[in-house]
Amino acid sequence: MEEIKDKKTILVLGASSFLGVNLISYLKTNHRVIGTYYNTPIHFKDVLTVRLDIFNKKALDRLVFAFRPDIVIYCIGQNSLTRCGKYRNAAEALNTSGVVNTVSTIEKYGTKFVYFSSPHIFSGDKGNYSERETPMPSTVLGGTQANSEFYIQKNSLNYLIFRVCNLFGRSYNPGKPNFLEFLENKFFYHEPFYCDNSVSTGWFSVLLLAKIVDMAIRKNLSNRLLQVCSNEALNQYEFAKIYAKVHKLDTSFVSQRRVPFPLDEKKAMVSGVGNADYLDFSMSVQNLLSVFNLKIPKIDSMVHNYYTMLGLNIKAAAAPTQKSEIKYI
């Protein structure tokens, strides 16, 4: 097999997370990848994984010194809006303090730091946000991510920030199903369910995001903030309808309703969305398109192509078991 000239050594912090699992599965084909976990041991074929406490700076320093990664990708954090609102201190620790620890530790090695933020750094008052707009979060999650973005841009000499909309894909962890896996099971078993219809955002395949990250690595991009989002803004109910339409599934047992959105009271007051009936967190991707020669597919195409890339038959996609090289202990 021909050696890849631009092969990098990549350290993925949070290998057992939804994003970590999918990035490692994609990047390990063309790069040397090491992963870390904390509470959930995980194994990949041809990838070393080790336990790491992100708040132990000495342990992190030893790990970086030992492997001298070209890139550190931060996939640790609490991305649930509800849990961030309920466990504010834990969210701030994982989403902000862990970032500070990592950036301050790896700077002396000249290692590139890759961070994933979200459109929740904005208030949701209008949608189609650009990278140039000032963050005005209305949630605890958005506040922690906005703080991390600011710290990285002020203190890191070599970074990439991807501000990413809702991702869909398999988490490979049946104990904590994400929204796509929730849909798979509900449609498979024909169980009635409802989805929110009051908050719109972009939707993006996690596999396509992994491809974009790999392209950015190969281009050796540095000190850039890129937004990754579909060209369409959909709420959960609209996404569920598209999912069903793509796979020709019955939608008679799917209903819609407004689900309470976990706004931070003080932040919502400042941003002016405290009494809003509808929120829109969609983002502009003009910078992304100017950097890469790509076309953002429509959401229905991304849903269809996701299963095609995995070689899955949608009729059996929600089966309780699935084959994978990834094994949880």
The class that CATH gives domain 9-328 is alpha beta
What's the pLDDT at 172?
A: 72
Site of tokens 């084909």: 29
Domain spans in the chain, listed from the N-terminal domain onward: 9-328
- Count CB-CB contacts under 10 A for residue 75: 23
Tell me the mean pLDDT in the region 92-110.
Answer: 96
> 229 or 260, which is more confident?
229
What's the pLDDT at 323?
A: 40
pLDDT digits (tens, 9 = 90+) for 4-53: 567 899 999 999 999 999 999 999 999 999 999 998 899 899 999 999 99
Q: pLDDT at residue 275 above 90?
A: no
Whether 227 and 131 have beta carbons less than 8 Å apart is answered as: yes
What's the pLDDT at 274?
A: 67
Confidence of residue 277 (pLDDT cuts 50, 70, 90): confident
Instruction: Choose the most confident range, by mean pLDDT, from 1-15, 253-267, 269-283, 302-316.
Output: 253-267
pLDDT digits (tens, 9 = 90+) for 285-329: 999 999 998 899 999 999 999 988 877 655 545 444 444 443 332
What is the chain's mean pLDDT, rounded? 90
What's the pLDDT at 1?
A: 37
What's the pLDDT at 88?
A: 94
Distances in whole angstroms, Cα of residue 123 to Cα of each of 134, 144, 201, 255, 283: 10, 13, 12, 27, 12
What's the pLDDT at 320?
A: 41
pLDDT digits (tens, 9 = 90+) for 64-82: 999 999 999 999 989 999 9
Q: pLDDT at residue 157 above 70?
A: yes
Q: Which of 10-24, 95-109, 165-179, 248-262 has the lowest mean pLDDT?
A: 165-179
- Count CB-CB contacts under 10 A for residue 162: 20
Q: Which of 157-161, 256-260, 275-279 has the lowest mean pLDDT?
A: 275-279
127 closest CA partner among 295, 299, 278? 278
